[in-house]
Amino acid sequence: MNMGNITLRKYHGLGNDYLVLDPHKNDLALQSRNIEMLCRRNFGVGADGLLYGPILEDGKMKVRIFNADGSEAEQSGNGVRIFAKYLWDEGYIKEKEFSLDTLAGEVKVEFLQEDGSTMRVNMGKPVYAGPQMDLDGLKSEIINAHLRFWDNDYNTTCLSVGNPNCVIMMEEVTPQKAKLLGPYVEQSSSFPNKTNMQLCKVIDRQNIAIEIYERGSGYTLASGTGACAAAAAAKRMGLVDSTVTVHMQGGDLVVEIDGTDTIYMTGSVEQVGTFTLAEHFLS
């Protein structure tokens, strides 16, 4: 295998960046060690995660989503939008609407602009029940309940939007708070498979602000699933309306929750560039 021919495309959604590794254009063993090396910011290309695909099986278009530490994620809202943009750029998709399979199931994507840079994604319905969330010893819904992290109690709502999320309501949210509390929440014994965390401040009934700490990636500037989880949690608590702008350090996403509890996420994606690996990089 000629390692000099390994190329990756890099995109970001509101500063949440991913590498796209296309198996139709590269011959590279997909190993956790390789993914972690590629995502390291000071020694590799640098990214919050890696998207592997398209994988064409049973007439479906699939993508595998990996965190920066090489672990596989069930879902990523920004990752889905980024991968949809890649499919549009490379001509895999020509229709304005299509379905994409992830480990968490199928999502439906609608391109809103001719260049494919802005899209609306049907993220499905949130799940609050403890067993589906893999919450240790917690069998019922966890909605605005007290959970203990780092010797303090926090008002917490736990839900899955394809991946597990722990939303903590606060009067003020900062990157420092997220970076400090995030590791304790992610690795809490309550979450055997770890969890993503969002610190959430309700600004008014149409706006919330969140800070994010992602399982397997750490502090991130934005998160599509995190935005959906926080908006759904705030709506379930009666704090916001059906359409919410979610403000994050990297930018804003619009989240809509219809009468059936289905979540729609609208946001943009930008291409950073194409990277060719040095022949020795993964040797």
Give the whole-angstrom CA distance, residue 114 versus residue 9.
20
- Same domain flag for 82 and 29: yes
Assign 1 a pLDDT band (cuts: 50, 70, 90): very low
Residue 125 lies in a domain: no
Asked whether residue 108 falls in the same domain as residue 184, the answer is no
Q: In degrees rounded to 5, what are phi and psi of residue 134?
A: 60, 45
Summary count for the chain: helices (H), strands (E): 4, 18
Q: 141 and 22 in one domain?
A: no
**pTM for the full predicted model:** 0.93
pLDDT digits over 208-267, tens only? 999 999 999 999 999 999 999 999 999 999 999 999 999 999 999 999 999 999 999 999
Same domain, 66 and 40: yes
How far, in Å, CA of 177 to CA of 213, rounded?
10
Strand 207-214 versus strand 7-13 pairing type: unpaired
Query: For the segment 38-51, what is each residue's pLDDT rounded down to a tens digit?
Result: 999 999 999 999 99
In-domain check, residue 94: yes
Same domain? 137 vs 69: no
Whether residue 256 lies inside any domain: the answer is: yes
Structural domain includes residue 206: yes
Residue 281 forms part of a structural domain: no
Q: H/E element holding 81?
A: helix 77-89
Q: Is residue 190 domain-shared with residue 112, that is, in the same domain?
A: no
Contacts of 110 (CB under 8 A, 6+ apart): 96, 97, 119, 120, 121
Provide the mean pLDDT of the chain: 93
Could you tell me the end-to-end alpha-carbon distance of the chain, in angstroms, rounded to an integer? Answer: 11
Question: The domain that contains 64 carries what CATH number?
Answer: 3.10.310.10
Q: Which of 23-27, 46-50, 189-193 has the highest mean pLDDT?
A: 46-50
Percent of all residues in the chain with a pLDDT value above 90, rounded to a whole number: 85
Examine the pLDDT at 133 and tell me if it is beyond 80: no
- pLDDT band (50, 70, 90) for residue 131: low
Per-residue tokens: 97: 């609407």
For the cut 70, the answer to whether the pLDDT of residue 134 exceeds it is no
Is the pLDDT score of 106 beyond 80? Answer: yes
Same domain? For 135 and 92 the reply is: no
Residue 212 lies in a domain: yes
Question: How many Cα atoms are found within 13 Å in the side-chain-facing hemisphere of 266?
Answer: 12
pLDDT above 60: residue 146? yes
Which range (118-122, 178-182, 216-220, 276-280) has the least confidence?
276-280
**CA 109, CA 93: separation in Å to the nearest integer?**
11
Asked whether the predicted pLDDT for residue 116 surpasses 70, the reply is yes
Say yes or no: 12 and 55 in one domain: yes
Q: Which residues pair with 122 in a beta bridge?
A: 108, 264
String of DSSP letters for 171-231: SS--HHHHHHHHHHHHT-TT-TT--EEEEEEEEETTEEEEEEEETTTEEES--HHHHHHHH
114 and 182 in a single domain? The answer is no
Eight-state DSSP code of residue 127? B
The total number of structural domains in the chain stands at 2
One-letter identity of residue 124: G
Same domain, 165 and 210: yes
Regarding whether 135 and 95 lie in a shared domain, the answer is no
Q: What does the DSSP assignment read for 199-210?
A: EEEEEETTEEEE
DSSP reduced 3-state for 96: coil
What is the mean pLDDT of the segment spanning 94-103?
A: 96
Q: Based on the domain organization, do 7 and 108 belong to the same domain?
A: yes
Q: Alpha-carbon distance 50 to 121, whole Å?
A: 19
Domain that holds residue 158: 131-261
Check residues 145 and 271 and name the one with the higher pLDDT: 271
